[in-house]
Amino acid sequence: MAETPTIRFGVIGCADIARKVSRAISLAPNAALYAVGSRSLDKARAFAAANGFPAAAKVHGSYEAVLDDPDVDAVYVPLPTSLHVRWAVLAAQKKKHVLLEKPVALHAAEFDEIVEACESNGVQLMDGTMWMHHPRTAKMRDFLSDSNRFGQLRSIHTHFTFAADADFLENDIRVKPDLDALGSLGDEGWYCLRAILWAANYELPKTVIASRNPELNKAGVILSCGASLHWEDGKVATFHCSFLTNLTMDITAVGTKGTLHVHDFIIPYEEKEASFYAATETGFDDLVSKWIPQPSKHIIKTDIPQEALMVTEFARLVADIKFNNSKPEKKWPTISRKTQLVLDAVKASIERGFEPVQIQE
């Protein structure tokens, strides 16, 4: 068997999340940390030193220099959302494959510019939603897709909150209108909406209605919000996200025959082992005093963490394009766009006084 081709990554920006993804690039068997760029050369140097970049790695004092490096195959873009369209489009124009943090854009039209640039330059685009790549997610998907064990999805609830500290609420890019203007909705709500769409097999809801009384900071950035989503066939979903309450990350998905529960869907409790609960045709004993059968716990182990599996999958697609002349995989930008579309609808509903907003593809 031929050696696994190695895809060389450039990281543009030294955000906190880039530390985790840099480690993931090191851990992925088909990827290598090759370059890092920051607006400050010192910052880039310190980042490379602290995050396992090899001694030979290129360290640049600008994002452009990374994009101009002919040996960089792909870039990871952890920049604030408001900078995504500029840098992802430029990366694509420079023929770099793009691994892009979420939310992918400030709104779907902006994301469409990124998609167009990637498509016309033949590069792969994928967002950084790590939990999609955990093997647990595939096992849960098997359960949801099983008409005998789960039946048809009818209701789903997701919850993602964490208690941001005072420094976060004052200084994090996610509370700044000029950086991550979508706030909690863009950060946490992204995961809630992705989980809902994932459970619904990426069928878009017809109508989205934001929950009343979202909490905003002084600059008008969302700190907590929620919504209900409604499909033509009667399926219903609700979600809630907040920067102001204890760490919680739930999916409850209920089908005609089964129920799925997971409480750590975005970041598993443990790095190398994750679980979920599945119930099928649960009922009661004769006096309705106990459950028969009870839900079962499923444990899934991984050798490398989900973010490294994400990098591995992205690098595999990139290698397929680079070495086998394959076309970019459209699945990933397609589900990114759907997530953004629903996110946009939640935002629109908030802005229109919690009126129902119809989703149009």
| Beta carbon nearer to a second copy, 205 or 333 | 205
Please identify which residue in 263, 275, 298, 348 interacts with a second copy, judged by CB under 8 A.
263
Is 326 near a second copy (CB under 8 A)?
Answer: no
Burial 282-292, CB ≥16 within 10 A → b, else e: eeeeeeeeeee
| Beta carbon nearer to a second copy, 52 or 122 | 52
Q: Which residues pair with 9 in a beta bridge?
A: 33, 74
Q: Hey, what are 60's tokens?
A: 């640049």
Which of these segments, 7-15, 168-176, 191-199, 268-276, binds a second copy (CB under 8 A)?
268-276
Is 80 near a second copy (CB under 8 A)?
Answer: no
Distance CA 83, CA 86 (A): 6
Q: How far apart are the first and last CA of the chain?
A: 43
Is 121 near a second copy (CB under 8 A)?
Answer: no
Say if CB 9 and CB 33 are below 8 A apart: yes
Closest CA to 95 of 8, 182, 13: 8
Which of these segments, 56-64, 114-122, 270-278, 332-340, binds a second copy (CB under 8 A)?
270-278
Distance CA 104, CA 126 (A): 9
CB of 141 to a second copy, least distance (A): 18
Catalytic residue selected from 58, 102, 338, 347: 102
| Beta carbon nearer to a second copy, 17 or 90 | 17
Residues 159-218 that bind a second copy (CB under 8 A): 159, 161-163, 207, 209, 211-213, 215
CB of 286 to a second copy, least distance (A): 8
Contact characters 22-61, a second copy, x per CB under 8 A: -x--------------------------------------
Please identify which residue in 120, 201, 256, 358 interacts with a second copy, judged by CB under 8 A.
256
Closest CA to 78 of 69, 91, 68, 65: 91
Distance CA 154, CA 233 (A): 9
Q: Which amino acid is at 64?
A: E
Is 155 near a second copy (CB under 8 A)?
Answer: yes
**Alpha carbon of 159 to those of 75, 153, 203, 238, 298: distances in Å?**
31, 18, 20, 9, 21
Say if CB 116 and CB 222 are below 8 A apart: no
Is 284 near a second copy (CB under 8 A)?
Answer: yes
Please identify which residue in 68, 116, 170, 281 interacts with a second copy, judged by CB under 8 A.
281
Please identify which residue in 6, 93, 275, 280 interacts with a second copy, judged by CB under 8 A.
280
Long-range contacts of 162-166 (CB under 8 A, 24+ apart): 162/188, 162/242, 162/243, 162/245, 162/246, 162/247, 162/248, 163/243, 163/244, 163/245, 163/246, 163/247, 164/243, 164/244
Please identify which residue in 90, 169, 236, 348 interacts with a second copy, judged by CB under 8 A.
236
Say if CB 191 and CB 245 are below 8 A apart: no
Closest CA to 174 of 80, 77, 242, 247: 80
Residues 293-312 that bind a second copy (CB under 8 A): 294-295, 305, 307
Is 77 near a second copy (CB under 8 A)?
Answer: no
Active-site residues, by number, are 102
Q: Which residues bind a second copy (CB under 8 A)?
A: 17, 19-20, 23, 151, 154-155, 157, 159, 161-163, 207, 209, 211-213, 215, 224, 226, 228, 230, 234, 236, 238, 240, 242, 244-248, 250, 252, 254-259, 261, 263-264, 267-271, 277, 279-284, 287-291, 294-295, 305, 307, 356
